[in-house]
Amino acid sequence: MSWLKNTISTWIKVFNQVDSTEVNIDIKGLLRGKQAAVARAVNLVENQRCDHEDVIKRLLVTLGDMARPGRHIIGISGPPGVGKSSMISKLIQKYRADGKRIGVISVDPSSIKTGGALLGDRVRIEYDPQDQGVFIRSMSAGSSLGGLAYHTGRILTIFEAAFDVILLETVGVGQSESDIEYAADTVVVLVQPGSGDMLQFIKAGIMEIPHILVVNKADRKKRSATTFYDLKNAISLEDINGTGCSDGRGWQTKLVMTSVTENFGIGKLKGLMESHLGFLRGTNIDKIRRERSHLQAFTTFKEQFGNHGIKALGGQERILFLLEEARVTNSYTGAVLLFRKIYKIMNISAR
């Protein structure tokens, strides 16, 4: 664990410069996923107190370099009520049985403009509150200063240093409203049996096909079988055109039927998610993650400065080039780099 030793000593150097009585965070505990330490870091970042901004920056930059190499970030998205939270509750049990530590970020759909179907039967993610290995954070777009991608990126930076598996629940199909799927290694989309939306999206070529497509509520047998085979055909048609790989890297989209209520297919889903991580490890996962952090930094920047800001920095391609040139690996650091550049152009001093 020499990476851990090195990063801890880096951190101690950085942290020594900070008044640690004021922001007393147990970094070693955080790296072991200790609830209290993670909660304290998350609160510090979420409260966004101006007088803590300097410490927050140092904390995030340092934690960004401490991301657990074996981590797996999984985006779970799908339309309102499809069963995302129910599925996450089951996945938590399975990962805990493997001894993995889990962090969950759940984005509240009622706060997102178009996804806000507030269903009466919406469930909360279930977990054992005594279990030190699970940490859940719900977020709403409305409550976060500075935009959702910005906010999620910051919490994610903490989670990546603390947990083995990070699940992101977002409402949306494919490209989510909040774009936070840019953060995920593996994108899983849940589909309702009998809903033709996904099929239409695939056929029209207007969405990126996720790494794993799940027909949930497969206890509704007839409807789910039809949906399953329709999707299977749609995906294999895509393959004939040579575009069936969801990310252009050779991964073939996987399709699985699950039922949370009847408890089937969930182990298979977990197996597919793990095999996708294995696939990524077999390619250049560091480069993929670096490029993804650039896209996330870009999204955060866009969220704050819009198209004018992008234009001022020379356009998307130029921005991505700047991030790659600086070998940015942490979306938070990337966003800060872009903010500095635009402040410089605007002649505003930035710390």
Ligand X SMILES: Nc1nc2c(ncn2[C@@H]2O[C@H](COP(=O)(O)OP(=O)(O)OP(=O)(O)O)[C@@H](O)[C@H]2O)c(=O)[nH]1
Q: Where on the chain is the footprint of Mg ion (CB under 5 A)?
A: 84-85
81 binds ligand X (CB under 6 A): yes
Distance (Å, whole) CA 278 – CA 250? 13
197 binds ligand X (CB under 6 A): no
Distance (Å, whole) CA 121 – CA 238? 35
- Partner from Mg ion, ligand X, none contacting 176, C-beta within 5 to 8 A by type: none
171 binds ligand X (CB under 6 A): yes
Strand residues in the chain grouped as ranges (E):
72-78, 102-108, 134-140, 165-173, 175-176, 186-191, 212-215, 254-257
331 binds ligand X (CB under 6 A): no
84 binds ligand X (CB under 6 A): yes
Site for ligand X in 199-258 (CB under 6 A): 216-217, 219
Do the strands 72-78 and 102-108 form a parallel or antiparallel pair, or are they unpaired? unpaired
Contacts of 301 (CB under 8 A, 6+ apart): 309, 310, 313, 319, 335, 338, 339, 342
User: Judged by CB under 6 A, which stretch of 60-68, 90-98, 114-122, 328-336 contacts ligand X?
Assistant: 114-122
193 binds ligand X (CB under 6 A): no
Tell me the residue length of the chain. 351
- Partner from ligand X, Mg ion, none contacting 261, C-beta within 5 to 8 A by type: ligand X
Q: Which of 30, 55, 63, 82 forms a contact with ligand X (CB under 6 A)?
A: 82
Of residues 27 and 212, the one with the C-beta less far from ligand X: 212
Distance (Å, whole) CA 161 – CA 332? 14
Phi-psi category of 3—alpha, beta or left, where left has phi over 0 and alpha has psi -120 to 50?
alpha
350 binds ligand X (CB under 6 A): no
For the bound state, the minimum distance from the C-beta of residue 76 to ligand X, rounded and expressed in Å, comes to 9
Contact 99, 51 (CB under 8 A): no
116 binds ligand X (CB under 6 A): no
For the bound state, the minimum distance from the C-beta of residue 111 to ligand X, rounded and expressed in Å, comes to 12
Contact 322, 344 (CB under 8 A): no
Q: Which residues bind ligand X (CB under 6 A)?
A: 78, 80-86, 109, 119, 121-123, 171, 216-217, 219, 259-261
